[in-house]
Amino acid sequence: MSSSQFDDFSKKCKKILENQLRICIDELQAPSILKESMLYSLEAGGKRIRPLLLFATLHAFNKDPNLGLLPAIAIEMVNTYSLIHDDLPSMDNDDLRRGKPTNHKVFGDANAILAGDALLSYSFQLIAEASEQSISLEAKVSLIQLLANSSGAEGMVGGQVADMIGEEKNLSLEELEYIHVHKTGKMLTCSVLAGAILADASEEQMEYLQQFSHHLGLAFQIRDDLLDVVGDENLIGKPIGSDVGNHKTTYPSLLGMDRTKQVLSEQINFAKEALKKTGANTILLEEITDLVATRNN
Amino acid sequence: MSSSQFDDFSKKCKKILENQLRICIDELQAPSILKESMLYSLEAGGKRIRPLLLFATLHAFNKDPNLGLLPAIAIEMVNTYSLIHDDLPSMDNDDLRRGKPTNHKVFGDANAILAGDALLSYSFQLIAEASEQSISLEAKVSLIQLLANSSGAEGMVGGQVADMIGEEKNLSLEELEYIHVHKTGKMLTCSVLAGAILADASEEQMEYLQQFSHHLGLAFQIRDDLLDVVGDENLIGKPIGSDVGNHKTTYPSLLGMDRTKQVLSEQINFAKEALKKTGANTILLEEITDLVATRNN
């Protein structure tokens, strides 16, 4: 697949996703300020890497990506809620995200907390309410279990708490990995495995996809750490060098730049090897992997 | 049923519930501060009226209350998360709840937000992970749909946002009812209907139980408003007269005390009439209704 073919796939998926996001919020019978606040952050854009991973996994098993539309929306809502809460004054206290004022800057702290809460509940509702023709009862329950586990205390929220505990502390490589595997990795893995559940992948294939997304998640975070040292502020949308300023433990601070780049390339290789073992048509997932390794924002 | 028999039922259910709450948190593989923070608020007690409604509904259909243990836990987790977030400085800014320091006073604002988030995700996970012997796939999906809808933008969170918008404004009776039906009523209705789903109640019975819980929810809130005027501070655990001080629209401020008491008694009668129509053995639900009408805290 040429890179322009991947671009087409990515653009088409994003368009369908963003259109459906608006419809989902529009349908809600709720106070309009709440709906505006939910939609504001859902529309703030971003790479939509989680939905793309889900769609690309369905593609790998020759399934129609549309089958995964509502689960992809659910995952994007969970990701968005976590960003809204992360940006709050009592958490990271960020005024800008992707160059736009953060949710609480526009709607106030209380509305931001509640918009996040509503997005989390809605994500489970959307999966539960999908038509049984598109998602079987068994798949719905598996998807909900996966999403709840990946987003909660044993997943993303647990990673966020560990990250807060680790701030201003010197972390070991093991502690740093725990944070990343949970804070970022679990929801990336959730996106891939959600696609695999919908595609009826075998247990063995699930296992390889789990390995793939584990390495992809680490690569994603290592690239993030590298960008904080050598990135372009205008592309990243936040000042570079903030990790050093905040005394955060990162891959470069633990391993140095050369070894960090080497580890990134190792993780990318591990990810691609795991993909090959699935025996599926994983060309889009490989493209996403390359994107993660080389991204500039 | 004598009142002491109801007390026995209530005590037994609470004991099983609180024991299982601890087990559920204990089982989590998560940072200990997060687990402590989640358990702190789960153990802060309260009337456990939502789980009791679920258990009493199962009893009405001659089903074993244990069948509803995990859904009851899930509902109590959602209720607890909402209290943690409500108490935050940017929301109601409360330092005490039921005489104990609020979650953010003990664990800090960031941990309180995250403990709430984790409780919400976990509530869906617990229903999804229940054994299929106790809850069928179909019932799980219905329960998750109900819980997500009742807790989210079209339910509790929507009511909370409407309540914030309505603060310091003179509300009509209709606006006041919208707030209460959503902020408090939806999760009470959820508790009753969850029991009905687990008990395989007929559609007609579901309809009557929905009516019952609608009136129960209004009665619950009217009693709350009355207690703020004539209650005993030591029993309520907060200063009386705070609604007047905050210029909040309440049933007494709209209707006066005499008419408010009359409306409370009407709602209780409506609730009991709906119960009778179910044809089920609703004696425990009637006891809870009387409790709501006469409670002092």
Q: Inter-chain contact A153–B38, Cβ cutoff 8 Å?
A: yes
Asked if B117 contacts A114 with a C-beta cutoff of 8 angstroms, the reply is: no
CB under 8 A, 24+ apart: contacts of A40-44: A40/A103, A40/A106, A40/A107, A41/A80, A41/A83, A41/A84, A41/A103, A41/A115, A41/A119, A42/A76, A42/A77, A42/A80, A42/A119, A43/A18, A44/A80, A44/A97, A44/A98, A44/A100
Q: Inter-chain contact A152–B117, Cβ cutoff 8 Å?
A: yes
Inter-chain contacts counted by CB atoms under 8 A, chains A and B: 162
Set of chain B residues whose Cβ sits within 8 Å of the Cβ of A71: none
Output the average pLDDT for chain A: 93
pLDDT of amino acid A247: 78
Nearest by CB: A122 against B108, B114, B148: B148
Q: Which residues contact B89 (CB under 8 A, 6 or more apart)?
A: A90, B104, B109
Q: What is the pLDDT of residues A171-211, one digit of tens each?
A: 999 999 999 999 999 999 999 999 999 999 999 999 999 99
At B200, the pLDDT band (50, 70, 90 cuts) reads very high
3-state helix, strand, coil in chain B (%, to 5): 75, 0, 25
pLDDT of amino acid B97: 92
pLDDT of amino acid B297: 75
Name beta bridge partners: B97.
B100
Q: Inter-chain contact A148–B165, Cβ cutoff 8 Å?
A: no
CA distance A43 to A144: 24
Q: What is the pLDDT of residues B83-128, one digit of tens each?
A: 999 999 999 999 999 899 999 999 999 999 999 999 999 999 999 9
- H helices of B135-232, in order, are 137-151, 156-166, 173-180, 186-198, 203-230
Q: What is the pLDDT of residues B26-70, one digit of tens each?
A: 999 999 999 999 999 999 978 899 999 999 999 999 999 999 999
Answer positive or negative: Cα dihedral of A103, A105, A108, A110.
Answer: positive
CA distance A150 to A184: 10
Indicate whether B143 pLDDT > 60: yes
At B237, the pLDDT band (50, 70, 90 cuts) reads low
CA distance B115 to B105: 13
DSSP character at residue B65: G
Asked if A76 contacts A14 with a C-beta cutoff of 8 angstroms, the reply is: no
| B158 closest CA partner among A86, A117, A126 | A117
pTM of the predicted protein model: 0.96
CA distance A194 to chain B (A): 15
Name beta bridge partners: B8.
none
Set of chain B residues whose Cβ sits within 8 Å of the Cβ of A125: 144-145, 148-149, 152
CA distance B197 to A94: 44
Q: What is the pLDDT of residues A71-118, one digit of tens each?
A: 999 999 999 999 999 999 999 999 999 899 999 999 999 999 999 999
pLDDT of amino acid A35: 98
Beta-strand runs (E) in B45-103: 96-97, 100-101
pLDDT of amino acid A229: 86
Indicate whether A32 pLDDT > 70: yes
Set of chain B residues whose Cβ sits within 8 Å of the Cβ of A36: none
Q: DSSP string of B255-294?
A: H-HHHHHHHHHHHHHHHHHHHHHT-S--HHHHHHHHHHHH
How many CA atoms are closer than 13 Å to the CA of B172, on its beta-carbon side? 3
Q: Inter-chain contact B120–A117, Cβ cutoff 8 Å?
A: yes
